[in-house]
A and B are shown apart, each in its own frame.
Chain A
Amino acid sequence: MKRDRLADVKFDEGTSLWKDARRRLFQNKMAVFGLCAFSLVTLLSFVGPSLLPYDHETIDLPYQARPPLSDKHSFVCPNHDYVHLYSVDENCYVCNTPLEPAAIQPARHLMGTDKLGRDLCAAVLRGGRVSLAVGFMATAVSLVIGVIWGAVAGYFGGRVDQFLMRIVDVLYALPFLIFVVLLMVMFGRNFLLLFFAIGFVEWLTMSRIVRAQVMALKNQEFVEAAVALGYGRMRIIFCHLLPNLLGPVIIYTTLTVPAVMLLESVLSFLGLGVQAPDTSWGVLIKQGAEGMEDYPWLLLFPAAFFSLTLFSLNFIGDGLRDALDPKSSKD
Chain B
Amino acid sequence: MALIEVDNLKTYFHTRNGVVKAVDDISFTLEKGEILGIVGESGSGKSVTVHTLMGLVPQPPGRIEGGTANFDNHNLLTTDEAVLRSLRGKRISMIFQDPMTSLNPYLRISEQLIEPLLIHEQANRKEALKRAITMLEKVGMSDAAKRVHSYPHEFSGGMRQRVMIAMALITDPEVLIADEPTTALDVTVQAQILQLLKDLQTDLGVSVIFITHDLGVIAELADRVVVMYQGHIVEQGDVLPIFENPQHPYTKGLLACRPRLESTFKVLPIVSDYLDETEVDGQIELSEKPDAAARIEAMQKIDEPEIDETDLLLEVNDLCVHFPERSGFFYGPEGWVKAVDGISFTVPRGSTLGLVGESGCGKTTTGRAILNLVVPTSGSVKFMGVEIAGRNAAAMLPLRKRMQIVFQDPYSSLNPRLTIEQALTEPMVVHGIGSSHSDRRDRAAALLEEVDLEPQFLRRYPHEFSGGQRQRICVARALSLEPEFIVCDEAVSAMDVSVQAQVLNLLKELQARRNLTYIFISHDLSVVKFMADTMAVMRAGKIVEQGSAEVIYANPAEDYTQRLIDAIPRDSVGSIKQRVT
Q: Which residues of B contact A326 (CB under 8 A)?
A: 416-417, 419, 461, 463
How far, in whole Å, are A232 and B396 apart by their CA atoms in the complex?
A: 11
Q: Which residues of A contact B422 (CB under 8 A)?
A: 16
Neighbour of B421 across the interface among A6, A15, A222, A229, CB < 8 A? A15
How far, in whole Å, are A3 and B393 apart by their CA atoms in the complex?
A: 37
In A1-42, the 8 Å CB interface with B consists of: 2, 5-6, 9, 11-12, 15-17
Q: Which residues of A contact B474 (CB under 8 A)?
A: 225
How far, in whole Å, are A6 and B415 apart by their CA atoms in the complex?
A: 25
How far, in whole Å, are A118 and B564 apart by their CA atoms in the complex?
A: 87
- Asked if A230 and B401 make an inter-chain contact with CB atoms under 8 angstroms apart, the answer reads yes
- Asked if A230 and B431 make an inter-chain contact with CB atoms under 8 angstroms apart, the answer reads yes
- Digit string of A224-242 for contact with B (CB within 8 Å is 1, else 0)? 1111111111010001100
Neighbour of B400 across the interface among A2, A15, A162, A228, CB < 8 A? A228
**By CB atoms of chain B within 10 A, which of A16, A17, A229 has the most?**
A229
Among residues of B, the one whose C-beta sits closest to the C-beta of A219 is: B412
Determine if B13 is an interface residue (Cβ-Cβ < 8 Å).
no
- Interface size classification for chain B: 35 or more
Neighbour of A221 across the interface among B401, B408, B426, B449, CB < 8 A? B408
Q: Which residues of A contact B458 (CB under 8 A)?
A: 9, 11, 15
- Asked if A6 and B445 make an inter-chain contact with CB atoms under 8 angstroms apart, the answer reads yes
How far, in whole Å, are A220 and B445 apart by their CA atoms in the complex?
A: 26
Determine if A159 is an interface residue (Cβ-Cβ < 8 Å).
yes
In the assembled complex, the CB of A66 is this many whole angstroms from the nearest CB of chain B, namely: 55
Among residues of B, the one whose C-beta sits closest to the C-beta of A224 is: B373
In the assembled complex, the CB of A236 is this many whole angstroms from the nearest CB of chain B, namely: 10
- Asked if B418 and A17 make an inter-chain contact with CB atoms under 8 angstroms apart, the answer reads yes
- Interface size classification for chain A: 20 to 34
- Asked if B400 and A230 make an inter-chain contact with CB atoms under 8 angstroms apart, the answer reads yes
Determine if A80 is an interface residue (Cβ-Cβ < 8 Å).
no
Determine if B441 is an interface residue (Cβ-Cβ < 8 Å).
yes
Determine if B371 is an interface residue (Cβ-Cβ < 8 Å).
yes
Contacts A221-B409, A230-B397; A17 near B459 (Cβ below 8 A): no
Question: What residues of chain A have their CB less than 8 Å away from a CB belonging to chain B?
Answer: 2, 5-6, 9, 11-12, 15-17, 159, 162, 220-222, 224-233, 235, 239-240, 243-244, 324, 326-327, 329-330
Q: Identify the 4 closest CB pairs spanning chains A and B, nearest first.
A: A230-B400, A221-B413, A326-B461, A243-B417
Question: What residues of chain B have their CB less than 8 Å away from a CB belonging to chain A?
Answer: 16, 329, 368, 371, 373, 393, 396-397, 400-401, 404-405, 407-409, 412-419, 421-422, 426-427, 430-431, 441-442, 445-446, 449, 455-456, 458-459, 461, 463, 474, 477, 481
Q: A228-B404, A327-B463 are in contact. List 8 more A-B contacts (CB 8 A).
A: A6-B442, A6-B445, A224-B413, A225-B474, A229-B404, A230-B427, A324-B417, A326-B461
27 A-B residue pairings within 8 Å (CB atoms): A12-B459, A15-B419, A15-B421, A16-B419, A17-B417, A17-B418, A162-B329, A221-B407, A221-B413, A222-B413, A222-B414, A224-B407, A225-B413, A225-B474, A226-B415, A228-B373, A228-B400, A228-B404, A229-B430, A229-B477, A230-B396, A231-B427, A233-B393, A244-B417, A324-B417, A326-B417, A326-B463
